[in-house]
Amino acid sequence: MKKIFLFAVVLLFALTSCKKDNMKDVYTDFVDSVNNCESYELQGEMEIKRNNESDKFQMDVIYKAPNLFKVTYQNLESNSRQVLLKNSDGVYVLCPELNKEFKFESSWPLNSSHIYIINKVIEDLNTDTEREISQTDENYIFKSKINHHIKKDLNNQKVYLDKKTNELSKISYNNGDAEQIILSVNKFKLNQTCTSNEFSLDQIMKQETALIGEGETKKCSQISCDNPFDLEVVTNKDDKITIVSFKGEKNYTIVYQELSDSLLTTSRVYDEFVLLDDSLGFTSTSSLTFYKNNYEFKIVSNTLTLEEMVEVANSIQLINKLKYNLEYLV
C-alpha cells in the first residue's frame, strides 16, 4: 500500500513538473518566434475602458524587420481612421480625413509599452525577471510589468495564447487585476510577405484618402467640454480663434479654431503623440494639440500633467448639449 501511495505521489510530481516545463517551452517558443521573425501582421479589436464607458478600435499592424512599422486604427463608433508610421525617413501620423501628415521627433514605437506592438510586448516580458507563467483550461498566460508613458496606473500586462493552437489570442493592460486596455487578436501571422511600399508615406495616404471618398465635411455649431478640475473660466474670441482659460489650482487654456486650408498646409514637427478617445493628440512642451471634426484644439498648461491634458481632451465633444459648453461662454 505504501509503495502504491509513493508511486502516486511521484507520478503526480512528474506530471506537475511536465506541465510547468511545457508552459516554459510554450513561452520560449513564442518569444523566439517573434524575435526571429522577418515580419508579422496583426489584426484585432482594441477596447479602452474609462470609468463606466469604453472606446473600441479596429487595429491593423504590419511590421517588417528590423524597424518598419505601420499601425492603422479606426474608431468603431466614428469610423475615423489614422495611420501611425515608422519608415526609413522617420515617424509620422497620417490623418486621411484632413489629407495631412505630421512628423515626429520620436523613438516610437519602442519608447514605451504599446499593447499593439508585439515586439514591445515581448521586450516587457523578457525584461521582467519576476514574470509569471500560468495556464487555464483554455489559455497559457504570461504576465509581466509594463511601462506605459501616460497611464502610470497600468502596471502589468497579460498575454494569452490559445492552448489548442499556441497562437496569440488576447493581450490586456491592467491596473492590478482590473483590465483597462484589451486587445482581442483575430489574426497574428509571422513572416508574411510585405514590401517597402507598405511603408511608403505617399502610397499609404493615397490608399487611405481613396477610402474616404468625397463625403461632405461635417460642420459643428457647438463645442462642449467637461470642467474636470472645477475651475473659473474666462473666454476671449475673435473672428477665427476662441481662447478659453481655466483658472485655479490647475491652470490651463484651450485654444480652438475651425480648420482652414492655410492651417492644414502649415508644416509642424511634434515631440510625441498619444491615443485619445476618437483621435490622436500631438504633444510639444506644455501643450497637447488634436483635431475633432473640422476643428483644431490646443491645450496649453504648465501645471497639468500629460495624463490630465488627455483627460481634458477626452472631455471635449462636438455635440449639442453637455455639462459644459464652450460656445455658451462666448
Q: Three-state secondary structure along the chain?
A: CHHHHHHHHHHHHHHHHHHHHHHHHHHHHHHHHHHCCCEEEEEEEEEEEECCEEEEEEEEEEEECCCEEEEEEEECCCCCEEEEEEECCEEEEEEHHHCEEEEECCCCCCCCCCCCCHHHHHHHHHHCCCCEEEECCCEEEEEEECCCCCCCCCCEEEEEEECCCCCEEEEEEEECCEEEEEEEEEEEEECCCCCHHHHCHHHHHHHHHHHHCCCCCCCCCCCEECCCCCCEEEEEECCCEEEEEEECCCCEEEEEEECCHHHHHCCCEECEEEECCCCEEEEECCEEEEEECCEEEEEECCCCCHHHHHHHHHHEECCCCCCCECHHHC
In a domain, 119, yes or no: yes
Average pLDDT, stretch 263-271? Answer: 61
Per-residue pLDDT, 236? 53
Average pLDDT over the chain, rounded to an integer: 81
| Whether residues 325 and 235 fall in one domain | yes
Domain with 296 in it: 224-329
| Whether residues 182 and 261 fall in one domain | no
| Whether residues 144 and 246 fall in one domain | no
* 8 A C-beta contact, residue 36 and residue 119: no
Average pLDDT, stretch 186-197? Answer: 92
| Whether residues 242 and 147 fall in one domain | no
In a domain, 87, yes or no: yes
Q: Which of 212, 244, 276 is the last residue of a domain?
A: 212
In a domain, 47, yes or no: yes
Per-residue pLDDT, 64? 95
Q: Which of 191, 212, 233 is the last residue of a domain?
A: 212
| Whether residues 61 and 208 fall in one domain | yes
| Whether residues 166 and 287 fall in one domain | no
> Per the structure, how many domains does the chain have?
2
Percent of the chain scoring above 70 in pLDDT? 78
Average pLDDT, stretch 130-152? Answer: 93
| Whether residues 106 and 232 fall in one domain | no
Higher pLDDT, 300 or 235: 300
| Whether residues 149 and 250 fall in one domain | no
Q: Which of 212, 241, 264 is the last residue of a domain?
A: 212
| Whether residues 228 and 208 fall in one domain | no
- Model confidence pLDDT, tens digit, residues 5-50: 444 444 444 444 444 458 889 999 999 999 999 999 999 999 998 7
In a domain, 167, yes or no: yes
pTM: 0.79
In a domain, 240, yes or no: yes
| Whether residues 69 and 176 fall in one domain | yes
In a domain, 18, yes or no: no
